[in-house]
Structure 1
Amino acid sequence: MSEKQKEKYFKLVKENIAEYGFHNTYVMEEIGFTPFGYSTGIYKSFGIPELFISGLPNGLTNTLINNYAERFKFKEVPLNEKIDNLIDRFPVYFIEVENDKLTEYTLSSFKFYENSEFKYLQLIFPDLNGIFPNEAEYDYDQKILGE
């Protein structure tokens, strides 16, 4: 990405945060690379951690981030508890992620917040058989960065 393209992109990020309260970024799947998406601006706008999601398609990732922001803005987000109604397709739960584990992933957020404080959660979802990563026989390409 050229410097001009980066400037244009970061301008879009700031415009979306100003208009909607946050911006979603999605990085596409490649061979040997798990796709991921994340929010920028939710922490500043709504007082809840940003959200990181690994291993889901773009549309589903955006829907989950949007639903998360709408449902939990200005509220406490439950950690390590299954949530059955964030989306009608499967339950999820949230885990904390240290920012230093996300430096290679959430570049828009690090640029937006610069030296300001911000936090991240990771959304954890089950495999196609409804099995979560901490359960036996889990089988899905979801990169877990949090605890």
Structure 2
Amino acid sequence: MTEKNDTLFNQYSLSDVLRNNLATAKDYIEGIPPEQFNNSSDDELIEHVYSRQEVSPLELHVDAKEAYIENTKVDTRNYPDQSIDIGHLVEAHARNITISIPFSGEAQLWECQPSLWSSSPPNGTIRKTGHLDIDYSPL
């Protein structure tokens, strides 16, 4: 997973990812040596396989969110409501705001499209430190 501003929830089908995880669990169970399989209780086998295949749901820790504000300048010629074109760079003062929200769970779930989805999914940056960054920028 890269640390860049990406469209979230649109890379993979969540259903396909979970089905693949189930198939991997079946293959893993079939690969357990018969002696180990026969000498283990059902609960031990379930716990062992579950610990390897568990998909932890995403959980946002909104109470620990942080905001970062950066002053910048924006070229106003790129805005359609700019009524006067004076032929040179016209900059306006602006602010880039980043909201950083820590999360727990499987980071790859940010890339998975659920069965109910929007044709305009949100954008965000998933950092390796376990934070979702959402940028509000005039650009």
TM-score by length of 1: 0.23
**Greater Cα radius of gyration, structure 1 or 2:** 2
Of structures 1 and 2, the one scoring higher in RCO (CA 8 A, sep 6+) is 2
